[in-house]
Amino acid sequence: MIQHRRAGTFRRVPRAFALFAAVPLVALAGCGDPGDLRGAGGTPTAVGPSRLWPTLAPATTPALDYGEADTEVVEGVGAAHDDIRRVDPVAALRAQIAAHPDEYTGKDADYPETAERLGACTGSSSPGASRGKGCPVLQSYYRDLTGDGRDDLVVGFTLPGDQLAVRVYTFEKHRLVQVMDTTDAVIGVEFAGSELIIRAASKLPGYEYRTVWAWDTHQHAMLATRDEILRVGDGATPSGSPAPRPSTSPSASPSTSPSASPSAAPSTE
């Protein structure tokens, strides 16, 4: 409890008297507060939540697929002893394109140039080797995101329109599985423990989107557990002008855009 001194009660004490008075004060110090309870004054009344439209029937069908688990077994790509660090990210992406040609090369594909751009990745597929000039696949990062005690693979590759695709791969029952896939106008990517945080540009000046992805043991996938819009500045994006908010539905393919900046366990590429 904070006690306020009333105005006018304080008086400056002469120095000689102050020194003399200090002796009995020390003697009285042993007679401290008896410890009785004291009232802290009035407290505001708690106000509980008020439900709006209580008779409205709850929806049974979701309007959007945002947050839906997006997983896929990558056929034909593996590694000895399920060592995720020996997996070639480019080979994994090419295998997925081959498995879904309509999504990547068809007339309705979001990024029909995906396969062509991956063709620039002409370097060796061995870990740590150069992927070649123009290859849109960024440096790989490794972190245990699934909680099984083994590293998982985080892959980022640039897309047209200043966008970045981020995918996470893990091994399940000796099969390489994609357990996360998202695309956004990314400002930065970070690890926070076993979570992956993606910061993306917003149309609102001075704000950014921040999505936290975490492993869900029931879906066996990385899900967007928190999605926020946060005030971050004076109204300008890093490029100096507001940026569009892309669709939150997963997609895949590459180009040139701001690279992610994860904070731990990079590959040696």
User: What's residue 78's pLDDT?
Assistant: 93
Contact 268, 128 (CB under 8 A): yes
CA dist 20 and 121 (Å) reads: 87
Least-confidence region, from 4-18, 50-64, 66-80, 110-124? 4-18
User: In the prediction, which pLDDT does 43 show?
Assistant: 81
pLDDT digits (tens, 9 = 90+) for 127-136: 555 677 889 9
Number of other CB atoms surrounding residue 61 within 10 Å: 4
Which of 33-42, 64-73, 107-116 has the highest average model confidence (pLDDT)? Answer: 107-116
Residue 31 maps to a domain: no
Q: Is position 176 within any domain?
A: yes
CA distances from 120 to 98, 112, 117, 266, 269 (A): 17, 15, 6, 22, 16
Domain enclosing residue 203, as ranges: 72-231
Are 199 and 188 spatial neighbours (Cβ–Cβ below 8 Å)?
yes
In a domain, 10, yes or no: no
Instruction: Tell me, yes or no, whether 263 lies in a domain.
Output: no
Residue 55 lies in a domain: no
- In this structure, is residue 50 part of a structural domain? no
pLDDT for residue 64: 65
Going by pLDDT thresholds of 50, 70 and 90, the confidence category of residue 266 is low
Residue 205 DSSP label: T
pLDDT digits (tens, 9 = 90+) for 50-74: 889 989 999 888 776 655 677 999 9
Residue 249 has a pLDDT of 40
What's the total number of domains in the chain?
Answer: 1
Q: Which of 141, 140, 97 is CA-nearest to residue 119?
A: 97
Residue 198 within any structural domain of the chain: yes
pLDDT at 91: 94
Q: Is residue 253 part of a domain?
A: no
- Which parts of the chain fold into alpha helices (H)? 15-28, 89-99, 101-105, 114-118
